[in-house]
Amino acid sequence: MAYLLDGFVITPLYYVVLALVGFDVNSVGVGRLPDRNLYVLATVLGLAVQGSFFVWFWSGGRRATPGQRVFGIQVANAFDGQPLTIGQAFGRWAAMGSWIAIPFVLPFMAAAIVSAVAVGVWNLLLLLSTIVSPTKQGLHDRFARSALVRPAGAGNRWAVGCLTVLIILAALYVALLVIVFSQIPWDRMPPNPYLDEYLRWMWPS
């Protein structure tokens, strides 16, 4: 949940960077696809913005992102509780695997498929490694020699409440998708030229 809340902070920063490189999000639409090289550049810059955000807030004594502060949790050195160094913070972010999605924007559909599967598998491994760890250190924390902690006396009502809401919304969303897609006469659907155009633009090889 803290990670999702941080997304609301990162997104405006991302749009600022896009504006600086001349990528107008509002101009993208059906039949109006942007320059592909500019799209790839925007994607890489977005990843750089995300990485810089987490490294900044995890290091230098700040210990936590804005989203983590909402839930009263901090990131610290696993051995002595000291703030993370920039190297540790970068290692923790890198081990979370956001960069694994980069091949998705390469002009090869096979690379995109492998990238999508790899992202899903890695996120599952991070979750499982955190659950089974006695100290709740996932692979990313073990790699960076860090630990996620909650100061004494901090409660978790916010986390439990937000997680409950998220699960309910996700269930409603899935149910809505099932209902909508079950009503579509797929066998009588005409070819979609815009989808074909997008696929050729996204993965020309």
Task: Say what the pLDDT of residue 118 is.
Answer: 93
* Sign of the dihedral through C-alpha 13, 157, 160, 59: positive
- When mean pLDDT is compared over 74-78, 158-162, 188-192, the highest value belongs to 74-78
pLDDT digits 0-9 by tens, 57-111? 999 888 999 988 888 889 999 988 889 999 999 999 999 999 998 988 888 888 8
Q: Torsion-angle region of residue 61: left (phi > 0), alpha (psi -120 to 50) or beta?
A: left
The DSSP secondary-structure symbol of 195 reads: H
Task: Say what the pLDDT of residue 92 is.
Answer: 96
Proportion of the chain above pLDDT 70, given as a percent? 87
User: Residue 197 and residue 6: Cα distance in Å, rounded?
Assistant: 34
127, two tokens: 């979750």
pLDDT digits 0-9 by tens, 10-37? 988 888 888 887 777 666 665 677 788 8
What's the one-letter identity of residue 147?
A: A
Helix H or strand E segment including 148 = strand 146-149
Burial environment of residue 50 by CB neighbours within 10 A (0 to 12, 13 to 18, 19 or more): buried
